[in-house]
Homo-oligomer: A and B are copies of this chain.
């Protein structure tokens, strides 16, 4: 069985604990979203498909008059998740508009600085968000999410360093 991108997040998150679609989205927004996004438009239809395929099952758990469906992994769902985890990862994609603009900055050299500044600012913002969730991730018994978080910190910090060096280089070139 071929898992869609969204199916992978859903199975992984339900392996940690049962969740509603809303909770899956909320958790993704604070964790995987730095390297793997998911939107409602994908999550809800996918929950339906995974349920039909028998990998997860939903249970009505209304809170007061507010209806809610909590999903949990089935045995087959857990097996499927493990099978996927065991396969060599293949998706490594980056899309960075600042680098694209810098690449083409020959057509408008004064745009180079702006592109680098924006890239720097983006990763500063990322560091801020990561710092927010760090205490929670550190306290959790599962060490893997915390490892990934530190990878994100490392990643953004190294990009910020590169941005600073690049800006300094532009300064030197302008001076010359």
A144-173 Cβ-contact flags toward B at 8 Å (1 or 0): 110110010011001100100010010001
B98, A89: Cβ atoms closer than 8 Å: yes
A86-115 Cβ-contact flags toward B at 8 Å (1 or 0): 101111111111111111111111011011
Q: How far is the CB of A146 from chain B (nearest CB, A)?
A: 10
Q: At the interface, yes or no: A15 with Cβ under 8 Å from chain B?
A: yes
Q: At the interface, yes or no: A81 with Cβ under 8 Å from chain B?
A: yes
Q: At the interface, yes or no: A82 with Cβ under 8 Å from chain B?
A: yes
Closest residue of chain B to A92, judged by CB?
B122
Q: At the interface, yes or no: A66 with Cβ under 8 Å from chain B?
A: no
How many copies of this chain does one complex carry?
2
Contact of A104 among B85, B93, B104, B159 (CB under 8 A): B85
Closest residue of chain B to A143, judged by CB?
B173
Contacts A88-B118, A100-B36; A107 near B12 (Cβ below 8 A): yes
A105, B32: Cβ atoms closer than 8 Å: no
CA distance A86 to B113 in the complex (A): 10
Residues of A within 8 A of B (CB): 5, 8-9, 12-13, 15-16, 31-32, 34-37, 78, 81-82, 84-86, 88-109, 111-112, 114-115, 118-119, 122, 142-145, 147-148, 151, 154-155, 158-159, 162, 166, 169, 173
